[in-house]
Amino acid sequence: MSKQTKAAKRPLTGEIGTPSATDGKAAPTSGAAKKAASESAALNKAAPKKAASKKAAPKKAAPKKATATKAASKETAATKKAATAKVAPKKAAKPESQLAMVRRARKINRELADVYPYAHPELDFRNPFELLVATVLSAQTTDLRVNQTTPALFAKYPTPEDLAAAVPEEVEELIRPTGFFRAKTKSIMGLAVALRDDFGGEVPGRLDDLVKLPGVGRKTAFVVLGNAFGVPGITVDTHFMRLARRWKWTESDDPVKIEAEVAGIFPKSEWTMLSHRVIFHGRRICHARKPACGACPIAHLCPAYGEGETDPEKAKKLLKYEKGGFPGQRLNPPPDYPGRPAPPLGATP
């Protein structure tokens, strides 16, 4: 075969898929390609891992977030617990025993005796008859108004016999300033008739006899017995009732029950003066609507402290009668009274 024919039959070097006379020399190139491919594959293989690492980074932070959430939850729980602790009601105080209450009540009486050594009935009177009539007239009004009214009444009708024979309209006009004057006229004229007809014109000194008189109840009877006859008695008026309840001496609002309960706390010899001291305190300091707690000398013994004004300066302005520097209720007070006498009806204080 000629050289030309052999050359024609030899394939073109470099055609794809055709072996070449230079294949042995191309092997290195093929190995480099393989190496490059291998490196490329490795890079490609590593890339997802790197990306995965980047994506996984937040997952590593997840526990931190969970820890923070857990901490926040604990903090919220702690806050709620603290808030609950703040608003939780205080533990109820141990109830006062009967013995402790009696001791405290008697201490109040002793301290009131120091505060009001001059305590007395605040109605002007010269005899049992005048005290009886004045006490009946004091219903639904002040002792001051009664004291300003009775001088003219007793000047005209000094005895039960005189009052029993009076003209009702004239008596009504004299006692008009005390209020409810028609009903009161009927009562005082009725008791005057009873005194004249049943007791020889004298006021009886027994409770059972006094409460039978027109317009006379237990309160009025004890005022007369205690202050005109020296017979101990507890006078449960509106002031006494209010303070006995504030001081936890009783929980009742029935005057007869209050009288019985308080009588069981104090010796009988103290009943009359106890009544004066409590009533004095109720009129001067422990008022119904706005007690002067900040000026009260027995505040440390009072379970109701704080119901009224606790600021000392403001409380001082609430004091009445001699405690506030004003005239008392009597036109003719006892010699040891430290305040000023009350002015007559129509006069300027």
User: Which DSSP state fits 94?
Assistant: P
Buried b (16+ CB within 10 A) or exposed e, 273-304: bbbbbbbbbbbbbbbeeebbbbbbebbeebeb
Give me the count of residues in the chain. Answer: 349
User: Active site includes 219?
Assistant: yes
Which member of 237, 248, 314, 323 is catalytic?
Answer: 237
- Catalytic annotation, pick one of 219, 253, 317, 323: 219
Q: Are the C-beta atoms of residues 232 and 268 closer than 8 Å to each other?
A: yes
Q: Does 197 participate in catalysis according to the annotation?
A: no
Amino acid sitting at position 267: P
Catalytic machinery residues: 219, 237
